[in-house]
Amino acid sequence: MRSMEVAGAAVLATVSVVLQALPPIFVTPWFMRIDLVAVPWVVAWILFGFKASLLSLAISIPIVGVLGPFAGGWVGAIMKATASVWMILVPAFFSLKYGVERLLANRLLYGAAVASSVVARGVATVFLNLYFAIPVFFGMSLDQIIEFFSNPAFQSFLGLSLGLVGIWAAVGEIFFWNTVQGVIDLYVSLAVGLAVVRRLKGRFSTGKTLHV
């Protein structure tokens, strides 16, 4: 990695930590944060490449786990990292086939990358929440988790409007809100990344660090 990529990753990691310290956009009834914390990591991929984005995540994730409301400690840090990494891995996979410039410029292609990312994230987070995060953080068995999500007091409008119960209540809530978070991560980062690139484009040459 070049020095500019490392520096960019460090700066965006700092931005992520600052965003974590701020109040979240929304907190679900079952205490998941909806926020902008992962946006700088995806922006790091857009501006500086895949390795820089992973470095930015790695630098900030230990602090993200303990800072701010509803941080979740080491369990929260692991969950944020394992959920958000799909927002980097899947678009990066698409870029190998189509190129970063084409991916970011083509709405349909980027939409396909977003859809694939949120599906991967949803499947991963359903499994991790049911079998790792909630059992470890709250000390609950799978049956207790299912009962918890079936309680209307801990359901969002999704579960309440669809009348979800049992395992489907848990799967529906976890998958839906991680989809919301994933869409925010990828489209906000796209807007920010392209705005920065367009502002800097033509002022200086940075080789491969600026992709569009």
Taking only the tens place, the pLDDT of each residue in 130-162 is 999 999 989 999 999 999 999 998 999 998 999
- Selection from 182, 177, 185, 180 nearest residue 30 by Cα: 177
CATH 1.10.1760.20 fits 3-200, yes or no: yes
Average pLDDT over residues 14-37: 93
Q: Are 90 and 117 in contact (CB under 8 A)?
A: yes
Cα 136 to the center of its chain, rounded Å: 21
- pLDDT recorded at residue 203: 61
| pLDDT, average across residues 99-125 | 96
Residue whose token pair is 């009834």: 29
**DSSP annotation of 129:** I
Name the residue with higher pLDDT: 204 or 12: 12
Contact 20, 64 (CB under 8 A): yes
Tell me how far apart the alpha carbons of residues 53 and 5 are, in angstroms, rounded to a whole number.
Answer: 9
Query: Residue 147 is encoded by which pair of tokens?
Result: 């009962």
* Lowest-confidence pick of 17-21, 30-34, 179-183, 198-202: 198-202
